[in-house]
Structure 1
Amino acid sequence: MLNERDIKTALIDRLFEKGMLEEAVLINEMVIANWNRRADIAVANGRLYAYEIKSDLDSLDRLEGQVSAYLDRFDKVTVVTTAKFISAVTAQVPEQVEIWEASGQSQSITLRVVRRGRTKEISSRRMLCGFLLKSELLALMRRHGISASPDEPRQALISLFQQVSTKDLRQFVLGCLKRRYRETFETFVQQKGAKTTQIDLDNLSKSKLSIKQRDSTTKEVSNEKSPSPRSYHSLDLDRLSQKYGGMPESMPSAVLRRTFRE
């Protein structure tokens, strides 16, 4: 019985083998659609690709909504599943969605293309702008001489992008995603071996990398007899991202608690 992480490691290795990750970034658990959906794996190279995994331990209850959201935002969508769900997935998702079957054991998984999908580049300005942080939206506006106040809501800013060509917007979005996720992806590539392991997946998570960095810093501070680790307050980066947008690579995962002297 294959679980999601088993399949995800095999999928990542296949993407490397196919050359999909050259001049690209791979994004683990990419949140989209106002934080309502989360693509298991996304790839940004010259195009945007989404991969949804349905393992033996999953259900197909949310698949229709997930695929619909991905088709609106990604140039190509692939569902990777097991023999348990192949027939149901094939019948349920649109023909342009590619389908792969995962089989074997956790240490030796084979991926087989069951149905070829189609690539259709996203041209909706609203959907493309949905990948951008507000600061990135404003930067693109300045580049094109569009004046707007930083206090304007996102939707008001997006409505001003009619004078920006879809081609320029696509290139800008791809560039922003690559810059935003490059450090995380490069760390993953540097530390993985010949084959991706489940431990390697943690290096694709910004929050888990930040926790590692915090623990390392805490250990150094403790050795120097500086503030106790218990004086740190952990930050919920996922919750902060949901409220304020994507967090920068340098965002700490913990801050010192305020102390009061008597």
Structure 2
Amino acid sequence: MDFGASRVDVAVVNGILHGYEIKSESDNLNRLPRQMSYYDRLFEQMTIVVDESHYQEIINIVPSWWGIMLVKKKKNDFQLVPKREGRKNNLQEKEILLKLLWTRELEKFIDVFHYPKRMKRLRKDKLVEQFQEQELYEIREFVYHALK
């Protein structure tokens, strides 16, 4: 998923929207604070997968609701070691979720929630603005279904 200047490495939609950010030993963590500010508003659950070289720094940077998985090198193999289980994020924003969709997908929202048909002439930003009056759970359900 591409969100402005940040693109999550893996996004899974299966009842919830769960993002995975991967930081290998060749990555630096300079972009991580900006990525976190986006991901905190988008994902219901977030997990960072890190090389051992980043682990100590990561535990002091990422929010407490993020899960942490450590990649350990074992000879010619890798092992994923859960270090912290993630929790549900309560900061998810309606606007950010709605902006994930193309205009054509948002137009379907008009029919599903019985908005006036004339709204199909509106620009994407105006549709997003209008739809924010819906409950978060309704927006989640619609967006997640569209993303599958």
Q: TM-score scaled by structure 1? A: 0.52
Map of 2:127 onto structure 1: 157
Confirm whether residue 58 of structure 1 aligns to residue 23 of structure 2: no
1:74 and 1:121 in contact (8 A); partners too: no
Could you tell me how far 1:110 is from its partner in structure 2? Answer: 0.6
Map of 2:40 onto structure 1: 71
Q: After TM superposition, which residue ranges in structure 1, 4 or more long, deviate above 3 angstroms? A: 148-151
Decide which structure has greater strand share: 2
SS, match of residue 15 in structure 2: coil
Measure, in 2, the Cα distance between the counterparts of 1:89 and 1:42: 20
Moved more, 41-50 or 162-171: 162-171
Could you tell me how far 1:76 is from its partner in structure 2? Answer: 0.8
* Residue 94 of structure 1, aligned match among 46, 63, 73: 63
- Superposition RMSD on alpha carbons, in Å? 1.9
Could you tell me how far 1:124 is from its partner in structure 2? Answer: 2.4
| Cα 1:106/1:177, change in 2 over 3 Å | farther
Measure, in 1, the Cα distance between the counterparts of 2:77 and 2:16: 29
Q: How do 1:143-154 residues align onto structure 2 when only pairs under 5 Å count?
A: 143-147=112-116, 148-154=118-124
Q: TM-score scaled by structure 2? A: 0.89
1:50 and 1:78 in contact (8 A); partners too: yes
* Residue 167 of structure 1, aligned match among 117, 132, 137: 137
Measure, in 2, the Cα distance between the counterparts of 1:45 and 1:169: 15
Measure, in 2, the Cα distance between the counterparts of 1:56 and 1:123: 30
| Cα 1:117/1:110, change in 2 over 3 Å | same
Unaligned segments of structure 2, at least 5 residues: none
Measure, in 1, the Cα distance between the counterparts of 2:91 and 2:81: 26
Q: How do 1:1-262 residues align onto structure 2 when only pairs under 5 Å count?
A: 30-32=1-3, 34=4, 36-105=5-74, 108-120=77-89, 123-147=92-116, 148-178=118-148
1:67 and 1:77 in contact (8 A); partners too: no
Measure, in 2, the Cα distance between the counterparts of 1:106 and 1:50: 29
1:75 and 1:120 in contact (8 A); partners too: yes
Unaligned segments of structure 1, at least 5 residues: 1-29, 179-262
Measure, in 2, the Cα distance between the counterparts of 1:101 and 1:76: 17
Measure, in 2, the Cα distance between the counterparts of 1:152 and 1:69: 26
Specify which structure has the bigger relative contact order, considering alpha-carbon pairs within 8 angstroms and separated by 6 or more residues.
2
Cα offsets for 1:145-174 (capped at 9, x unmatched): 212444422221112114433222211111
